[in-house]
Structure 1
């Protein structure tokens, strides 16, 4: 019953930010690391100082680190993205804070997107609404005449053209963390999807040290430390399955349930995107003051349920969670304690 997974603690990881890094209007100025309309200024090298290099060397696990947000507003915006992408871009500066406020109230996360290699002039001024909640999965694309249109447009899938199949968003937000650009850009260019319309670069997804980070819509599966051209992830989703070795979790699912799902998938070989739906998460009494324990009930096969007990504890030492971190932060390590399959009650 050794350590199972690790997840970000309360400092250093912005994965839970519902509006994609726009909560602080006092942005530190524009960064041109992510410019695609002119030759980009190199964000540096993947040397031993980079957070993603250190995370790989420590064998950090990315399991149970998917965002709690399960709805997104995607805004096509080529050109430079600063650290606070929506506020530090060529998006209308008067509209941006109002849009961020609306998104925060609605529990929708804002992501800027662009095609790999796009220039600013290539923008089709597209925007999309994505929903990954079970039974409501979908992604709908529309075109805006002005940025202000997004302040009143419905975010419910009632407008726009539905996207067929999967859409892949690769975090390339070098203005937030250099590792996202250094690892994300090559992945976005190489990802072997059926067509170029299925791949977008996107702003900050969270979990910088797990770059290259990938979000698969409409189901909301987060992947980290994606190797090579990402072909194994694409092939798995073409089969209606998850690519378990790099799966961070499904958006909108509580962290204990993400950890339980991952362990149950490993043990039972259930890789379908809809397998092992969470039915309940119950806190349990833990042995130590800093440990937290849960019993997670998942939907099994043939009318059964799978009951998994998981526990998280503080990591013994603080580590550097992002390249720009001014001080180390702590993660919590996940441990699986038990798994049982039972008949569900009538």
Structure 2
């Protein structure tokens, strides 16, 4: 059984030929965000475990439920994912909107020290209800896997900016690049997720080659880095500013050790002291503050009401020696 695609999702319908979702005119959320110079710092998702399901063809706004995935299995799978704290993403080859699926699926873990991504093949969608999500099955991906959000059924900017990036992104092989369903932060399109470490990038320029080149060196591409999945937002912000100040770009640099709330002097603002593990046993302490934007803006192309965004600000950074072993 297949799920019906709502007619309102025009370019995701199955009863008409696929067509472009429009143009990047001034009304688009990603165009407006770039004009405002919105910062994507500290906007990576909180979950750090992933289920990738190969599902070519159209995706509606709710990708898992509004695709060719088994409609009876979809809600049960969503329930399991919620219980286990796993993010479900549909994936497909760039440009292969209606291609036959290899019925691949993968489990990915972005938690520090457990990073990995393992590919398997399902005989039926229901197999995913009982398959282990722990890396104990499947073939480990040898390098980085790049997921580009192209989910036009969720927001047109994701398709308009994401599809060209997915087709052009340079990588060692075609198995390393996939289109994916909604990543979040539509106004930062083109959005890119690099697994297994879970680094989010936004407003990725050109063909994404600068991001790929950085990860080939096991470094982050800081100008477009939104943050690392599973890391608390204050720690994401602190890591970003510490990387900027100290020039520490390694993917494993500056792991967070603690986040402590502090009193804030501004109405609506929130302040934290974040402790990070620095090089050679040093400890890096960063004070960051989050403030609501003074103006309200439309955060997605489909938003009917305006909202405020939180902006992050670097207040202080100190480095001190770590504890002496003894």
TM bin, normalised by shorter chain, reads over 0.9
SS in 2 for 1:265: helix
Q: Equivalent residue for 1:231?
A: 209
Check whether the contact 2:58–2:97 (CA below 8 A) recurs between aligned residues. Answer: no
Q: List per-residue Cα deviations over 1:41-95 (Å, max 9, x = no partner).
A: 2100000000000000000000100000100100000011000000000100000
Counterpart check, 1:42 vs 2:20: yes
Hey, what's the Cα distance between the residues in 1 that align with 2:80 and 2:178? 24
Q: How does 1:145-164 map to 2 (within 5 A)?
A: 145-164=123-142
Is 1:184–2:188 an aligned residue pair? no
Residues 150 and 122 of structure 1, relative CA distance in 2, 3 Å threshold: same
Relative distance call for 1:288 and 1:96 in structure 2 (3 A) is same
Q: RCO (CA 8 Å, sep 6+): is it higher in 1 or 2?
A: 1
Q: Which residue of the partner structure matches residue 207 of structure 1?
A: 185
Residues of 2 paired with 1:270 and 1:94: CA distance?
48
2:36 paired residue number = 58
- Does 2:196 match 1:218? yes
Work out whether residues 5 and 12 of structure 2, in 8 Å CA contact, stay in contact via their aligned partners in 1. no
Q: Which residue of 1 aligns with 2:286?
A: 308
- The SS at the match of 2:183 is coil
CA change 1:135–1:30 in 2 (3 A) is farther
Whether the 8 Å contact between 1:171 and 1:213 is mirrored in structure 2 is yes
Closer/same/farther in 2, CA of residues 90 and 268 from structure 1, 3 Å limit: same
Q: Which residue in the other structure is 2:315 paired with?
A: 337
C-alpha distance in 1 between matches for 2:286 and 2:123? 50
Two-structure CA RMSD over aligned residues (Å): 1.8
- Counterpart of 2:256 in structure 1 is 278
Q: 2:46 aligns with which of 61, 68, 75?
A: 68
Distance 1:333 1:244 in 2: 17
- Structure 1 residues 81-96: aligned runs within 5 Å: 81-96=59-74
Contact 1:36–1:78 (Cα < 8 Å) also in 2: no
CA offset at residue 136 of structure 1? 0.4
Q: d(CA) in 2 for partners of 1:152 and 1:84?
A: 23
Query: Where has structure 1 moved over 3 Å in runs of 4 or more?
Result: 25-30, 34-39
Does the alignment pair 1:123 with 2:101?
yes
Residue 247 in 1 paired to residue 225 in 2? yes
Equivalent residue pairs, number: 322
Q: What is the TM-score of this pair, normalised by structure 1? A: 0.90
- Tell me, which stretches of 5 or more residues in structure 2 are unaligned? none
Uncovered stretches (5+) of structure 1, i.e. residues with no partner: 1-24
- Equivalent of 1:328, from 299, 306, 326? 306
| Structure 2 partner of 1:9 | none
- Aligned match of 1:299 in 271, 277, 282? 277
TM-score (norm 2): 0.96
TM-superposed CA distance for 1:238, in Å, is 0.1
